[in-house]
Amino acid sequence: MQASVARCKACKAQGKSLMIQVIVFENKRLTYLDQRFLPLKEVFVHTKDYRKVIEAIKTLAIRGAPLIGIAAAYAAALAVQAYKGKKSGLKRYFYHALSELDAARPTAVNLFWATARARAAFNRVYEQSDISTIAKAILEEAEAIHQKEVQNCDAIARHGTELLRRDFAHQLLQRRLTVLTHCNTGTLATGGIGTALGVIKQAYLEGLIEKVFVSETRPLLQGLRLTTFELEKEEIPYQAIADSSAGFLFQKGMIDLVITGADRIAANGDTANKIGTYTHAVNAAFHKRKFYVAAPLSTFDATLSCGEEILIEQRAGTELTSIYGRNVAPQKTPVLNYAFDITPATLISSIITERGVAEPDFKTSLAQIAAETKVLHHD
């Protein structure tokens, strides 16, 4: 912990944001930070078993849409690396491993995007390569995905900061801004500086933000446990709030804007994000405040026309009725525990991507950004 704080101060002195090491592939094994124990302790897990990565994704030891994609790609590499049979059985084995990965979480599209890239990399080299060469190709693809997400976060932070300067030019002549964020969208969720939290970090370093309000994010407290953990390390002023108190803070004029991440974005701009996001968007709209979404293009799913088509994960009721293993409700309490909700595009002011900012009408602007990106990738 002391080393992390020292790195933080060094980065801050250079006008940079801290990069917490949350996932690393070295010596044929994956090391990841088990986020279920934060902020009480930092527990790193080392594994060569892709199934352990699947379990980590299911249990939220690894979480956050971009980081899930990174972990899934590395898990695919681990799967090939562990294969001991003949090459004739490799494809069936590998495809089964990918299907197991796809079943880990249903909402975050980055997971399926990463496994699709792993499958494509496999098929490119399968016919002409031996198993060791195939394993190397899958690992290289995973490393490329990881590096790209880090770069995406840097670009999102840059575009987001420029957007704040544009949209709040008048206010910034008088004072710095207060921002509300929900869930965790920083290094712990992305492997890079972060998406929404990356924008906040960069904007703070550039003197645009005064303070961050962090909603607790019930029932698993990703805001209270994880976002505060990152802001504390980077010495960014913040206050944690109960999810249900945000409306009152809006009413009192204490919040200038909201910025969140996304786990999946439909073609029309409807956004799936951690449960409670929609409530913040409604509050922002009613109080005439900007509501921004920051997410990489890997989060977009052009196959879905609108948010109604996004599959929303339901999780165990015990996440709501118990806290750190202690029951806080009657034993037989029935629970409806949606992990995500849908924020309609009509409530979103702008969507910040690594390729620029999409404005309403999102169906047109997102399609244009996606098309331009494909052209650049082909170049």
| Annotated catalytic residue, options 167, 263, 270, 341 | 263
What is the C-alpha to C-alpha distance for residues 219 and 146, in angstroms, rounded to an integer? 29
Order of strands across the sheet with 264-266? 300-301, 264-266, 271-274, 340-343
Catalytic-residue membership of 130: no
Active site residue ranges: 263
